[in-house]
Amino acid sequence: MKLTKSLEVAVSKLVAKAWMDDEFRKRFISEPTEILREAGIFLEDCVKIVVNQDSSNAPVLQGADGMTIYQIDLPSKPSDLSDEQLSAWSLGGVDLASVCRMCC
């Protein structure tokens, strides 16, 4: 199963928000399913969400024991992005991909 572009964009906005807000980051790691629901992303009950801190891989889907595991990697905040750029991306105002090709 492949991630859709819209899902990748939505998750990257959550990652950007997690970089700016430590409390949100902690909650994203501990309650990823709830955070995704709040963002309008609803997954089937057979999907488990795992957030990996300080990882630099892109989000992936993988199967395990009949359960689908959605792994979201949460890399460290890039030093070359300002809080304004991250805020604009997380709110939907700017194409962060044109600013940072290696993250999200």
Instruction: Tell how strand 47-53 and strand 60-64 pair up.
Output: unpaired
Nearest to 33 by CA among 24, 41, 22, 25: 41
Whole-number Cα distances in Å, 38 to 14, 15, 52, 65, 78: 10, 14, 20, 27, 25
Tell me if 79 sits within 8 A of 88, measured CB to CB: no
Supply the pTM of this predicted model. Answer: 0.71
Q: Where are the domains of the chain?
A: 5-78
Tokens of 7: 């899902």
How far apart are the two ends of the chain, measured CA to CA in Å? Answer: 19
Q: What is the pLDDT along the chain (104 residues), one digit of tens a residue?
A: 446 778 888 888 898 899 989 999 999 999 999 999 999 988 888 888 888 886 655 555 556 566 777 788 888 888 888 888 878 777 765 444 444 433 44
Nearest to 4 by CA among 70, 92, 54, 51: 70
Q: For residues 77 and 62, what is the distance between their CA atoms, to the nearest angstrom?
A: 25
